[in-house]
Structure 1
Amino acid sequence: MELVIVVCVVVVALGFDYTNGFHDAANAIATSVSTRALTPGAALLMAAVMNFVGAFLGQGVARTIGEILDIEVGVPGMVVVMAALLGAITWNLVTWWFGLPSSSSHALIGGLVGAGLASSTDVSWAHVVDKVVVPMVVSPLVGFGIAFALMLGILWLFRRANPHRTNRRFRYAQTVSAAAMALGHGLQDAQKTMGVIVLALVAGGYQTSTDHIPVWVVLAAAAAISLGTYAGGWRIMRTLGRRIIELDPARGFAAESTAAGVLYTTAFVFEAPVSTTHTITSAIMGAGATRRLSAVRWGVARTIVAAWFLTIPMAALVGALAYGVVHPLLE
């Protein structure tokens, strides 16, 4: 029975990874597609490949996810993980349907916290605050500020350049920046699924700690997120690519380069599971604000920010409800 539950949890975790991919596909490619630096098909293929590669570049974020709950060994612990995943997937699908670029990462963390509270599992609140809440607030602010400053530097450096030639060159540069962004997305988000699968293995008694991530887990998570990315997230792509601000290639390059830098820094230096969605959205706003503040559609931005702050509590609520449904069925 326990083996069957572990297998089910792993399958659901990979399902979450897949929804993460198509929910967050827009993060890597919306700006490049909207500026016509890449065609949608080429952009999706590139993003899928880079997501797969990025999943192999680190394991620090996965360990951080694995340490959120003091999971119980046995069926009760596996039920908690299953409920957390169902909560995260549900919130992902809701926000995808409405075209809101909310955070799959924070949906997963909210699901874990909600299922943990509903089951009376110990939640490492200090860990959540240090590794999740603080980066959640700081990373978008940093992304906005750096993208704004980088774009100002670009405007100054190319102030006398031919606009047509400059745009063409930045379209080429966006191919690199979009690839870097997709690599960062794989680095960050695939690891979150790895962390949850390892939690399930610990609960099932197949591992003694969350420190070690088997190779098959890395391969499976990498494949699921890249397949989801290739499936695409066109509703959210429209929001990021057009509804926030009309981007030109230079601003797209500044936003993508900034977001990629933030993702690498938080993954390798702080091992913090930051949101790729928050990071790229704030970077787009920062780069766009250099045109003029009114160029950013702040009404759309407010809706997105509201979704950010709702994600963890709403996913936690759905995770808790899912625990109430799954618990009597599996125990």
Structure 2
Amino acid sequence: MEAATLIVVLIIVLSLFFDFTNGFHDTANAMATPIATGALKPKVAVLLAAVLNLFGAFLSTEVSKTISHGIIREDQITPQVFLPLIFAGLIGAITWNMLTWLLGLPSSSSHALFGGLIGATIVGAGWMAIDYGVVIGKVILPAVLAPLTAGIIAFAATRLAYAMTRRYDAKPDGRAGFRWGQIFTSSLVALAHGTNDAQKTMGVITLTLIVAGVQTSAHTEPQLWVIFACAITIALGTYMGGWRIIRTLGKGLTDVKPAQGFSAETSTASTILASSALGFALSTTQVASGSVIGSGLGRRGATVRWNTVGRIMIGWLLTLPASGAVGALAAVMVAWLGGWGIVVDTIVAVAVILTIFLLSRRDSVTAANAMSEVAESGTAVKVKRNPPPTRRQRALARAEERRQKEESK
């Protein structure tokens, strides 16, 4: 009994650490664009995102129930087997999160979690322990449809924004008034992120409590202390900034006009909030990237760099299998060595995390230097410095040319 209690405590601690990494890994989704356009100062942006992530975590629990009572058939697995599998799955998710953070790669924390849990469960309990209907309906399909939907919305919103403000076509500031709107829309994205991503950790902890017999399977709602713990942890992680990924996304978006940023953030927030209400555990990173691409297509003179989009998509495709492989490897250690396997997994995981952290110190990225030089990876949209004239500008030029010809006669 003492061993079971210890593993439950260890899983809760590991879950909260994953929640922390999720926070600083996904800060860029909401704040990279407003930081890059100057709508918000870096430290103000991450503080605002942290507070709104905290509040957002209390708004919905639908995503939590998808994880705690959906993806894995916990009633077919004994607690003695299942608890170590949850532990192994979290190791897979955290390892992938830390590695992609070091590389500045905007990958999906959500899919890292799903991949780790699925990989560990398949190794420890077999293929039939996974509810593939839920995986396809609430994980795979949203991963495909959500970025596409967000991109279409962002495309339409960008077109509309520029159509409604044509009188500013000749101004060099690129409709800088939209920077004020970005403060609201980026805040909405941060709030939406809390309603979706914080719920995933709540779901893992709730699933652990159900398996351990501390909470009944009929009660899938996370307990109040779980909500508070996850909300505070993801807020702290968000406040850390995740400056490496902010630099990747933000520097790739430095030439994006404020109107585009406003449209992309509006699309991202609306997509995430709708998915949270429906219980879809989607990737906020994929939604944000889809919105950026859509806004780039919606603005005249903007060029989408499809080769970079392809690299980002490859990263998305690798997240599930890569984190699943690490989770499966950790589960193999537990299967072979029992309790000692958990000890070995813990030691190896701590060593990997410390190594990644020490490597990150060699090229430290902070609020002071995150936007100091252009990142060479992650550029989703690049806007031409001298875009072609708009239809209205061409019409004005022709009218001016006719006027000059008439005056010269």
Q: What range is the shorter-chain TM-score in?
A: over 0.9
Task: Say if 2:33 and 2:253, in contact at 8 Å, map to a contact too.
Answer: no
Would you say 1:5 and 2:14 are equivalent positions? Answer: no
Question: Structure 2 CA distance, aligned partners of 1:166 and 1:247?
Answer: 9
What does 1:97-136 correspond to in 2, within 5 Å?
97-121=102-126, 122-136=129-143
Q: Report the CA distance shift for 1:130/1:293 in structure 2 as closer, same or farther (over 3 A).
A: farther
Question: Structure 1 CA distance, aligned partners of 2:79 and 2:118?
Answer: 19
**1:293 Cα deviation (Å)?**
7.5
Q: Report the CA distance shift for 1:85/1:156 in structure 2 as closer, same or farther (over 3 A).
A: same
**1:296 Cα deviation (Å)?**
2.2
Question: Structure 1 CA distance, aligned partners of 2:268 and 2:302?
Answer: 22
Would you say 1:286 and 2:294 are equivalent positions? Answer: yes
**Match of 1:295, SS?**
strand
Question: Structure 2 CA distance, aligned partners of 1:6 and 1:95?
Answer: 27
Partner of 1:314: 322
For residues 125-183 of structure 1, give each alpha carbon's deviation from its aligned partner in whole angstroms, at most 9, with x where no partner exists: 01100001011000010111110111000010001137467733211111100100000
Displaced runs of 4 or more, over 6 A:
none
Out of 47, 68, 72, which is 1:69 matched to? 72
Q: Name structure 1 gaps, 5 residues minimum.
A: none
Task: Say if 2:36 and 2:253, in contact at 8 Å, map to a contact too.
Answer: no
TM-score by length of 1: 0.96
In percent, how many aligned pairs have the same letter? 43
Q: Report the CA distance shift for 1:65/1:113 in structure 2 as closer, same or farther (over 3 A).
A: same
Q: Name structure 2 gaps, 5 residues minimum.
A: 341-409
Task: Say if 1:244 and 1:297, in contact at 8 Å, map to a contact too.
Answer: no
Task: Say if 1:32 and 1:178, in contact at 8 Å, map to a contact too.
Answer: yes
Partner of 2:367: none
What does 1:269-284 correspond to in 2, within 5 Å?
270-284=278-292
For residues 173-224 of structure 1, give each alpha carbon's deviation from its aligned partner in whole angstroms, at most 9, with x where no partner exists: 1110010000011100000000000111112110121612100000000011
For residues 303-326 of structure 1, give each alpha carbon's deviation from its aligned partner in whole angstroms, at most 9, with x where no partner exists: 111101111111111110111124
Give the partner amino acid of 2:73.
Answer: D
Partner of 1:18: 20
What is the aligned residue count?
330
**Match of 2:176, SS?**
helix
Would you say 1:187 and 2:195 are equivalent positions? Answer: yes
Would you say 1:252 and 2:261 are equivalent positions? Answer: yes
Partner of 1:199: 207
Question: Structure 1 CA distance, aligned partners of 2:309 and 2:103?
Answer: 14
Would you say 1:46 and 2:48 are equivalent positions? Answer: yes
Out of 129, 147, 158, which is 1:151 matched to? 158
Deviates more, 1:163-172 or 1:132-141: 163-172
Task: Say if 1:52 and 1:225, in contact at 8 Å, map to a contact too.
Answer: yes
**1:120 Cα deviation (Å)?**
1.7
Task: Say if 1:245 and 1:295, in contact at 8 Å, map to a contact too.
Answer: no
**1:80 Cα deviation (Å)?**
0.9
For residues 219-238 of structure 1, give each alpha carbon's deviation from its aligned partner in whole angstroms, at most 9, with x where no partner exists: 00001101000101111112
Q: Which structure has the greater CA radius of gyration?
A: 2
**1:329 Cα deviation (Å)?**
4.1
**1:240 Cα deviation (Å)?**
1.6
Give the partner amino acid of 2:87.
Answer: M
Q: Report the CA distance shift for 1:45/1:302 in structure 2 as closer, same or farther (over 3 A).
A: same
Question: Structure 2 CA distance, aligned partners of 1:311 and 1:293?
Answer: 33
- Greater relative contact order (Cα 8 A, min sep 6): structure 1 or 2? 1
Task: Say if 1:243 and 1:300, in contact at 8 Å, map to a contact too.
Answer: no
Partner of 1:267: 276
Give the CA RMSD over aligned residues. 1.6
**1:295 Cα deviation (Å)?**
1.9
What does 1:166-177 correspond to in 2, within 5 Å?
167-177=175-185
Question: Structure 2 CA distance, aligned partners of 1:73 and 1:120?
Answer: 9
Deviates more, 1:173-182 or 1:295-304: 295-304
Partner of 1:219: 228
Question: Structure 2 CA distance, aligned partners of 1:229 and 1:275?
Answer: 16
Would you say 1:300 and 2:302 are equivalent positions? Answer: no
Partner of 1:90: 95
Task: Say if 2:159 and 2:299, in contact at 8 Å, map to a contact too.
Answer: no
